[in-house]
Structure 1
């Protein structure tokens, strides 16, 4: 007696005839009749009374029917559990990160990789706004983004990570009259030429928006998606830029200075873990919170000792 025989038997009982059951099971009627006969012989009992109009269960057949239903339900549950584990095994996850997050949280993702070997994290490095667009379009699965969330569809599965943020600073050349300042406001920069990262980045969007709210249009003379090229423009042409302060530790040069930006709206950008996964789905829910919890284990912000 095996699971297939029990499935055949239950289907015959519930269909009410061998002909109906054979159509449901996609097997021939003689093969189905032979399977039930073999089951009766193996158990040494008659399971069905056969009539021209159909079949009826014997008392023993009723007992087998009820027990078989339970066995089949348990077997289906086991199959689902095994399928879940199989889906988790060596699953490829496309993960979006900004340049800064790639640098700062490398240890967290390396820890995740070693702990959960069933996942392959494939990193895609872009600006925060572009990453969000890629999530919406299904090009990546999950991302660590900076505020704000630009697409309402992403807000449901976006969670802040306590201690995860970056502060921004103003970059000026050594020839700039503002070079000796220890902090600056955006109003201090209203007569300056700006060199900025593109609008694919949160900073590239939010700094100009904040300037407009403060009553002036920033004079953006140069834009580039590469922050190192932006800094080079600042140094060469005496423009100013607003960039994550952490880059000052990565790019050390004497012809520029990083000055703290003082602004209650845009001086600090908080980070969120966001996904388009269906978190009602057990494997995706489990994966998302595994990533979240691993990041929280590294929640002491590496920028704290710079600012």
Structure 2
């Protein structure tokens, strides 16, 4: 099994006919058919269900198709990167971020830019678990700073720090005049929380559950900024990372500590452990780790 055979197989599945796939691959239809059969013989599995009139993959074929796509993406990325390094050197770094990471990322970027002045840096918001996975798997980012622990064998997920979550209360609300809150103080209040698929939502709802409190969810959001705006307009209470409000410009609501050991979250560094990592990516990872050591 080699890259050429995998490319033939992927092209056939994408085009759904031997005629179209052979034309794109610039080979004859019999040659393509023979190549697919040879691939099946080499791996000892049937990939195409030939009992169907339309081209259909077997279960084994679907698995190979998914994994082969990743492999070809990786191969193309490495080939491109090697060629670019020969011609230009390392000039680009892409980092996926969550909102609260901006309290430390500029400091690391300043240090990084002192060493690599000519590198163009892309900062992309990758908030949900699917955002992070897709960005890493599709090579949109080199690494991610995320509060999602990624259960994927080829993704390295390293904890870098833990932060408390705090409550944001509208000005003039009865709870704004209280001291530190308990989770049960939020029971019955109109509540604003991240939508499903966001780890912060799970962290918050788990803390509520452990305290025996069911939140009165009225709004589901994607960004903490939206939650803060809703709180400022008196539409409810939300819980956000302490570092987000500490380093943001949101000041028109009351920040309250929540005295509960369960209400916190962990922030991770995530990257593809099997991907070729250029020296600039490895250096950024070193600086990131050093910042929290």
TM-score (ref. length: structure 1): 0.58
Which ranges of structure 2 fall in alignment gaps of 5 or more residues?
Answer: 1-81
Conservation of the 8 A alpha-carbon contact between 2:166 and 2:242: yes
Give CA deviations for 1:18-44 in whole Å, capped at 9, x if unaligned.
Answer: xxxxxxxxxxxxxxxxxxxxxxxxxxx
Q: For 2:134 and 2:291, locate their aligned partners in 1 and report how far apart those are by CA, in whole Å.
A: 26
Q: Which of 203, 216, 228 is matched with 1:219 structurally?
A: 216
More deviation in 284-293 or 107-116? 284-293
Structure 2 counterpart of 1:233 = 230
1:264 aligns to 2:261 (yes or no)? yes
Structure 2 counterpart of 1:207 = 204
Distance 1:119 1:187, change over 3 A: same
Structure 2 counterpart of 1:75 = none
TM superposition shift of 1:299: 2.9
1:186 aligns to 2:179 (yes or no)? no
Distance 1:272 1:87, change over 3 A: farther
TM superposition shift of 1:91: 4.6
SS in 1 for 2:291: coil
SS in 1 for 2:220: strand
Structure 2 counterpart of 1:158 = 157
Q: For 1:112 and 1:292, locate their aligned partners in 2 and report how far apart those are by CA, in whole Å.
A: 10
User: After the TM superposition, which parts of structure 1 deviate over 4 Å for at least 4 consecutive aligned residues?
Assistant: 82-85, 285-288
Give CA deviations for 1:73-94 in whole Å, capped at 9, x if unaligned.
Answer: xxxxxxxxx9796388235332
Aligned positions of 1:45-124 closer than 5 A: 86=86, 89-117=89-117, 119-124=119-124
Distance 1:208 1:155, change over 3 A: farther
Structure 2 counterpart of 1:251 = 249
Structure 2 counterpart of 1:299 = 292
Which ranges of structure 1 fall in alignment gaps of 5 or more residues?
Answer: 1-81, 301-307
1:275 aligns to 2:258 (yes or no)? no
Conservation of the 8 A alpha-carbon contact between 1:127 and 1:200: no
Q: For 1:116 and 1:296, locate their aligned partners in 2 and report how far apart those are by CA, in whole Å.
A: 18
Give CA deviations for 1:70-114 in whole Å, capped at 9, x if unaligned.
Answer: xxxxxxxxxxxx979638823533210012213432120232133
Distance 1:89 1:277, change over 3 A: farther
Aligned positions of 1:129-168 closer than 5 A: 129-135=129-135, 137-138=137-138, 139-146=140-147, 148-149=148-149, 151-153=150-152, 156-161=155-160, 164-168=161-165
Structure 2 counterpart of 1:29 = none
Q: For 1:157 and 1:178, locate their aligned partners in 2 and report how far apart those are by CA, in whole Å.
A: 41
Give CA deviations for 1:115-145 in whole Å, capped at 9, x if unaligned.
Answer: 1357533110132534423345423331111
Q: For 2:132 and 2:250, locate their aligned partners in 1 and report how far apart those are by CA, in whole Å.
A: 30
Q: For 1:131 and 1:113, locate their aligned partners in 2 and report how far apart those are by CA, in whole Å.
A: 27
TM superposition shift of 1:154: 5.9
Q: For 1:156 and 1:102, locate their aligned partners in 2 and report how far apart those are by CA, in whole Å.
A: 23
TM-score (ref. length: structure 2): 0.61
Conservation of the 8 A alpha-carbon contact between 2:154 and 2:274: no
